Amino acid sequence: MNTLTALTVLDLASVVIFALSGALVASRAQLDIVGFAFVACLTAVGGGTVRDVLLNRHPVFWIESPSYILWATGAAVVIFFTAHLLESRMKWVIWLDSFALAVAVPAGVAAALETGQHPVIVVLMGMATGSLGGLMRDVVCNEVPLVLKQGELYISCAMAGAIGTLIAMTAGLELTTALLICAGTTWALRAGSIAFGWHLPVYKSRPPRQ
Amino acid sequence: MNTLTALTVLDLASVVIFALSGALVASRAQLDIVGFAFVACLTAVGGGTVRDVLLNRHPVFWIESPSYILWATGAAVVIFFTAHLLESRMKWVIWLDSFALAVAVPAGVAAALETGQHPVIVVLMGMATGSLGGLMRDVVCNEVPLVLKQGELYISCAMAGAIGTLIAMTAGLELTTALLICAGTTWALRAGSIAFGWHLPVYKSRPPRQ
Amino acid sequence: MNTLTALTVLDLASVVIFALSGALVASRAQLDIVGFAFVACLTAVGGGTVRDVLLNRHPVFWIESPSYILWATGAAVVIFFTAHLLESRMKWVIWLDSFALAVAVPAGVAAALETGQHPVIVVLMGMATGSLGGLMRDVVCNEVPLVLKQGELYISCAMAGAIGTLIAMTAGLELTTALLICAGTTWALRAGSIAFGWHLPVYKSRPPRQ
């Protein structure tokens, strides 16, 4: 599997999963079906769009292949008619988002590798592609952004996954394997943070003076 | 009238009308005259800028013709000195925004047609150009975004207008007529929603269990 | 000193100072160390990135020289371990931000001059480069944006500084001097506003009718 094929598969998977999470957030905001599709598409392609514009990769992936938009819209329609079947929508948002993050990070990494970027930029593109779609979803719908929720790992998982890819490739593994390691590392850390509360120490200021 | 002329007229009209709406929102936030100009320019060129960057149309329309910025600034100055004459500023914002939407959607559609995009992308560019300037205005000034207000048609009007253009062109109408149909459809639906409460069914979760 | 050298120096200075201000805002939001780095990088490169994308200057400055990112990350780490030593973090944010603004405005002006833009665009790029990084920092961390705080000069300082550069260059001064005048004007006005409350008249609606 070459870089471009891997990239297409990862982009499609992250588009669909992010779209499902976006539509669920739209259901919490009680939008109509076009609003569902709008938020789903924004979440689905937001991170990858920023990546492509920053790397000057034109046409942007969904402008080149508009079927991504149709997939995201389809996901929004499915959620519009089924969200009421879910027990806890917020739980679903958080878990779907974790899977979307885990496929979007390697998608960002692969795109940066394909255009021959410096390792620092490869890691940053993984972090940006993984987190910005969800950040746009949360800012537009006025939710507390998952990416900045205190006492949880999120952007750190993306960073660890992206660095993992680089280590794996330096160790001589081929691209597909390295991207799988990226997805696995990202998801395992994020899932551990959701399920078991794994976190890094957060900044605490000293107590105020008397 | 060719595509580029139509595009220039539409861009200018949407810039001025969006700038008026942006300056009125700035008046609600009690900014100074430079703040008025800043919000007016952001609202006026925000949607078209995203459209141009995504479609890789450089230079961006207002960088090529800086007079757009002067028009938007002029609109801001006029509002700074006259806003106190208006009875209800929020009502004016909503109605001005409806006109700006109705000219910005065909502006986005025309730019996408000019660069030969797929129909799905044409519709999306209409929706993005129409809605993103207003969205930036509302996010920056901390108002509830008009585009996501529950129980109102907004992004749906943009979608209907953009699809209308495509139908009109497929039916053999020439571009100018098709763009007029786009503007008319968008405005009629939005005005109907403001005046008569037209809306699509919104998502309602089932009642919580006992 | 030619335009490109001046630009590199200004970009680096604004990156480091904005990064410090971003990390301090992250400390107010009690993020972990990766969150500090994320907010610091976003603040540090946000304005310059928008400038480069709008002017179609690729690669974007920090993609071409990833060391900017390392500097911003380093600044974030320093703040993570030292922020508790500061008496009033918000005061530091405001003053650091004033210095960052004062170097980012000439950085935007220089980049626009280098690509041969119209004077209106030169002024706007100065304003955008100066203000957008801080605006992103405040929106993402849910602080009231400094740029739109009522009754303070902010975006006006950027405008005055940028216009100052153009006047200085028209008067025959060389670029480096003109950029120093830009930084000085911007900072003096902003510092005057913070320290002495200098401001422009803000919009006041007439009193509501009885």
Do the domain assignments include residue C32?
A: yes
Q: Which residue has the tokens 């030969």?
A: B116
Collect all residues of chain A within an 8 Å Cβ-Cβ radius of residue B200: 32-34
Residue/partner pairs of C9-14 with CB below 8 Å, 24 or more apart:
C10/C103, C10/C104, C10/C106, C10/C107, C10/C110, C10/C179, C11/C48, C11/C61, C11/C68, C11/C107, C12/C68, C12/C71, C13/C103, C14/C44, C14/C47, C14/C48, C14/C100, C14/C103, C14/C104, C14/C107, C14/C129, C14/C133
Residues in C whose CB is inside 8 Å of some CB of A read 26-27, 29-36, 38, 41, 49, 53, 58-60, 63, 66, 69-70, 80, 83-84, 89, 139-141
For residue B208, pLDDT over 90 is answered with: no
The reply to whether residue A27 touches residue B205, judged by beta carbons under 8 angstroms, is yes
* B156, B202, B206, B209, best to mutate vs chain A, most A CBs in 10 Å: B202
pLDDT value at residue A121: 95
The reply to whether residue A124 touches residue C41, judged by beta carbons under 8 angstroms, is yes
The reply to whether residue C139 touches residue A135, judged by beta carbons under 8 angstroms, is no
Collect all residues of chain A within an 8 Å Cβ-Cβ radius of residue B199: 32
Q: Which residues contact A182 (CB under 8 A, 6 or more apart)?
A: A105, A106, A109, A126, A161, A162, A164, A165, A168
Chains sharing 3 or more CB pairs under 8 A with chain B: A, C
CA separation, residue B81 to residues B16, B23, C53, C159, C202 (Å):
16, 11, 35, 21, 11
For residues B144 and B137, give the distance between their C-alpha atoms in angstroms, rounded to a whole number. Answer: 10
Helix, strand or coil, per DSSP, at residue A134: helix
Do the domain assignments include residue A208?
A: no
Q: Which residue has the tokens 């200098």?
A: C198
Q: pLDDT tens track of chain A, all 210 residues?
A: 566 677 788 889 999 999 999 999 998 888 889 999 999 999 999 999 999 999 999 999 999 999 999 999 999 999 999 988 887 888 888 999 999 999 999 999 999 999 999 999 999 999 999 999 998 888 888 777 888 787 788 999 999 999 999 999 999 999 999 999 999 999 999 999 999 999 888 887 655 444
Nearest to A45 by CA among A32, A26, A28, A64: A64
Of C56, C118, C202, the CB nearest to B66: C118
pLDDT tens profile B10-32: 889 999 999 999 999 998 888 88
Collect all residues of chain C within an 8 Å Cβ-Cβ radius of residue B31: 148, 150, 202-203
* C57, C63, C77, C78, best to mutate vs chain A, most A CBs in 10 Å: C63
Q: Do residues B130 and B158 make contact, with C-beta atoms less than 8 angstroms apart?
A: yes
For residues B60 and B68, give the distance between their C-alpha atoms in angstroms, rounded to a whole number. Answer: 11
Q: Say how many C-beta atoms besides its own lie within 10 A of residue B4's C-beta.
A: 11
What chain B residue is nearest to C120 in terms of C-alpha separation? B66
The reply to whether residue B201 touches residue A32, judged by beta carbons under 8 angstroms, is yes
pLDDT value at residue B205: 66
Number of cross-chain residue pairs from A and B with Cβ atoms under 8 Å apart: 66
What chain C residue is nearest to A201 in terms of C-alpha separation? C32
The reply to whether residue C148 touches residue B31, judged by beta carbons under 8 angstroms, is yes
The per-residue pLDDT of chain B, averaged, comes to 89
Do the domain assignments include residue B210?
A: no
pLDDT tens profile B66-94: 999 999 999 999 999 998 888 788 888 89
pLDDT value at residue C209: 47
Number of cross-chain residue pairs from B and C with Cβ atoms under 8 Å apart: 67
Do the domain assignments include residue C201?
A: no
pLDDT value at residue C17: 94
Q: Which residues contact C108 (CB under 8 A, 6 or more apart)?
A: C47, C48, C51, C125, C126, C127, C128, C129, C130, C162
Q: Do residues A15 and A68 make contact, with C-beta atoms less than 8 angstroms apart?
A: yes
Q: Which two tokens stand for residue B108?
A: 């986005």
What chain C residue is nearest to B38 in terms of C-alpha separation? C155
Q: What would you measure as the largest C-alpha separation in chain A, in angstroms? A: 64
The reply to whether residue B120 touches residue A69, judged by beta carbons under 8 angstroms, is yes
Q: Which residues contact A154 (CB under 8 A, 6 or more apart)?
A: A101, A131, A146, A147, A148, A190, A193
Burial class of residue C29 in the structure, from the number of CB atoms within 10 Å of its CB (0-12 exposed, 13-18 middle, 19+ buried): middle
Q: Which residues contact A17 (CB under 8 A, 6 or more apart)?
A: A96, A99, A100, A103
What chain A residue is nearest to C89 in terms of C-alpha separation? A205
Q: Do residues B58 and C56 make contact, with C-beta atoms less than 8 angstroms apart?
A: yes
Q: CA of B103, closest CA in chain A: separation in Å?
A: 20
Nearest to B46 by CA among B26, B79, B22, B29: B22
Of C34, C60, C69, the CB nearest to A159: C34
Residues in B whose CB is inside 8 Å of some CB of A read 53-56, 117-118, 120-121, 124, 127, 135, 139, 145, 147-148, 150-151, 155-156, 159, 199-206
Do the domain assignments include residue A206?
A: no
Burial class of residue B36 in the structure, from the number of CB atoms within 10 Å of its CB (0-12 exposed, 13-18 middle, 19+ buried): buried
DSSP secondary structure code for residue C147 in this structure: G
pLDDT value at residue A83: 87
What chain C residue is nearest to B73 in terms of C-alpha separation? C120
For residues C59 and A117, give the distance between their C-alpha atoms in angstroms, rounded to a whole number. Answer: 10
Collect all residues of chain B within an 8 Å Cβ-Cβ radius of residue A70: 120
Q: In which domain, by residue range, is C126 found?
A: 6-196
Do the domain assignments include residue A202?
A: no
Do the domain assignments include residue B202?
A: no
pLDDT value at residue B80: 93
Collect all residues of chain C within an 8 Å Cβ-Cβ radius of residue B29: 148, 150
Which residue positions in chain C have pLDDT lower than 50?
A: 208-210
For residue B209, pLDDT over 50 is answered with: no
For residue B41, pLDDT over 90 is answered with: yes
Of A27, A33, A59, the CB nearest to B200: A33
The reply to whether residue C30 touches residue A117, judged by beta carbons under 8 angstroms, is no
Of C26, C27, C58, the CB nearest to A205: C27
pLDDT value at residue A209: 46
Q: What is the mean pLDDT of residues B132-151?
A: 83
For residues B192 and C156, give the distance between their C-alpha atoms in angstroms, rounded to a whole number. Answer: 40
The reply to whether residue C155 touches residue B69, judged by beta carbons under 8 angstroms, is no
The reply to whether residue C66 touches residue A121, judged by beta carbons under 8 angstroms, is yes
The reply to whether residue B70 touches residue C120, judged by beta carbons under 8 angstroms, is yes
For residue B129, pLDDT over 80 is answered with: yes
The reply to whether residue B204 touches residue A30, judged by beta carbons under 8 angstroms, is yes
Q: Do residues B93 and B46 make contact, with C-beta atoms less than 8 angstroms apart?
A: no
Q: How many domains does chain A have?
A: 1
pLDDT value at residue A206: 57
Q: How confident is the model at residue B206 (pLDDT cuts 50, 70, 90)?
A: low
Do the domain assignments include residue B204?
A: no
The reply to whether residue C30 touches residue A200, judged by beta carbons under 8 angstroms, is no
